[in-house]
Amino acid sequence: MNRPLNRCLIFDFDGTLADTLGEGLKIYNDLAREHGYTVIDPEDVEELRNLDTKRLLSHLGIPKRKAPFHLVTAMHRLRDRIRKLPLIEGVREVLPALRDRSEHMGILSSNLTENIETFLDAHNLREQFTFISSIGKLSGKARHLRAIARTFSLNPQEILYVGDEIRDLQAARRARVKAVAVTWGFNSRESLAREAPAFLVEHPRELLDVV
């Protein structure tokens, strides 16, 4: 018996599909030195994985009002390097099956659409996704999730949002969308679990049990 189609599966990009953490850390530290923020030692990353966005910005000494400007700067610097960055291990193998099981499969990210397109083209994966939505800032994903629901005439409960950060799960909750937390990205398993996502997965192949 064929499995019924999932209505809409949406992925975060950085840390969920693309392994951008190492390069992102280099770019952040360059910006930190330029603007006098706290430089992150690689040994400190594990501790920082427990922090949500607000606490992380406070810890690093970044004023909230300046975060959108720095994010755009970082994303533009990433543009020249993103083609060489790897996929999260195990993602390539599951995407075709997930696409077959979904009416719509897309990406909602704070990264730039151009960066996402370049990365997907480099890995020959663009055809797997029906849409890409970029918000260009750290907040606002809930509003975009609601907009996607309207675009495809979906009930929010017919959408699954897959993300690796606390803010992804919080956005899904505000939009009344089911959240799938993945533990291979930025935030720690423990911090993600505290947000009570609908699903918590340790490896990309486990997404096949969710969708």
Q: Report, as residue numbers or ranges, the catalytic residues.
A: 12
Closest-CA residue to 53 (of 42, 44, 43, 64) = 64
d(CA 60, CA 42): 14
Q: What is the DSSP-derived secondary structure letter of residue 14?
A: B
* Sequence-distant (≥ 6) Cβ neighbours of residue 91 within 8 angstroms: 17, 204
d(CA 12, CA 162): 6
